[in-house]
Structure 1
C-alpha cells in the first residue's frame, strides 16, 4: 500500500530537516525550538531557552563559526500522521576549527507540524511548528572541550550543545 499524501509530506519535511540544507525554510513563522533531556537542560544554561526562528537562526550561525566539518546521516525517520509528528534518529559528524578529531553526535529530533489551513496563503502547505533536539551530551561536551583546550572562547552568544559541561 502506498503511503498517504500527508505521510509523504511529513516524511519529506523530516528528511529535509535532517539533511539541514534549508532547515529554516521548512519552519512556520511562529515555530519554536527547544532541547531535551530534562535533566541535561536543567543543568546547562545554554540549553534552557525556547527559541523562535530568529534565535534558532542565530544559534546555527554562532555554533557554525566554531565548527570546521559537518556531515550528517539519517538513521531512521518515524512519522505519526494522526499527531502530525515525526521523529528523526540521526548523527552529525562534527569537527572543530582547532582539531581534526571527528565527533559523532548521535541525536534525536522530534518535530511537530502545522495543521491543514494553518499556513497563510496555502491551506495545503505543511511546515514545522516545533522542534525538540535531544543531543548526545558526551559528544557535545567533547566538542566544547576541544574548543576550550585550544583556548578559544565559545562565547556567551553560543547556545546549544557546545556549552554543555559534564562533571
Structure 2
C-alpha cells in the first residue's frame, strides 16, 4: 500500500526542516505561531542560552547569528520516524560544523522532535513546534573553538555553542 498524502507531507516537512536551504525556507514550512525549544530538561534548566521558547522571528535570528560563527560542511540523517496519526516526527541526524577560523569540524549529533498543525487540507499542514535535543559536548567544543578563534560570543547568544566544556567552566 502506498503512503498516504498526509504521511508524504509530514515526511517532506521533516526533511525540509532538517536540511533547510536558508532561514526563509525553514520559516515557510512553520506555522505563524510555531515555537522552538531545547532539550534535555536538566541541561536547559542550567544554561540561560537554552531556556527561552523561540517564536519564528527569534528562531530565524538564532539561525542567522549561529551562521556568523559556524560553517556547515555536511549533514547526515541517521533515523527518521513519522507518526501520521499523532502528527509528529522525530529525526536523529548529525550536522558537521566548523567554527569560523578553525580547521576542526565537530559532529553535532542531535534529535529534532516536530509537531504539525491539525489542518484538514494536507497542503496546508505546517510545523507548529520543534524541540532540539542537542549534543552538549559537541556544542561546548564548538563554543570553545569559537572563543579561541573569534573571541567571546554575544551576550544574548542562544543554542549549544553557549555551553562550556567541563574544564572551562
Give how far 1:151 is off. Answer: 5.3
From the superposition, tell whether residues 11 and 123 of structure 1 become closer, same or farther in structure 2 (CA, over 3 Å).
closer
Out of 71, 79, 92, the residue aligned to residue 89 of structure 1 is: 92
Q: Quick check: 2:100–2:149 contact (8 Å CA) kept in 1?
A: no
Give the TM-score normalised by the residue count of structure 2: 0.91
2:41 to 24, 32, 38: 38
Instruction: Give me the whole-angstrom Cα distance separating, in 1, the residues matched to 2:108 and 2:116.
Output: 24
The answer to whether 1:106 aligns with 2:109 is yes
1:28-82: CA deviations, max 9, x gaps? 0000000000011011110000000000001001111001334211222101111
Paired residue for 2:15? 15
Residue equivalent to 2:161? 162
CA contact (8 A) 2:97 2:106 kept: yes
Q: For structure 2, which runs of at least 5 residues remain unmatched after alignment? A: none
The normalised TM-score by structure 1 is: 0.92
**May I ask how many residue pairs the two structures share in their alignment?**
163
Distance 1:137 1:131 in 2: 18
Query: Deviating runs (4+, > 3 A) in structure 1?
Result: none
Q: CA deviation at 1:124?
A: 4.2
Alignment of 1:21-60 (within 5 A): 21=21, 22-60=25-63
**Do the aligned residues in 2 keep the contact of 1:62 with 1:157 (CA within 8 Å)?**
no
- Coordinate RMSD, CA, aligned: 1.4
CA distance in 1, matches of 2:116, 2:150: 41
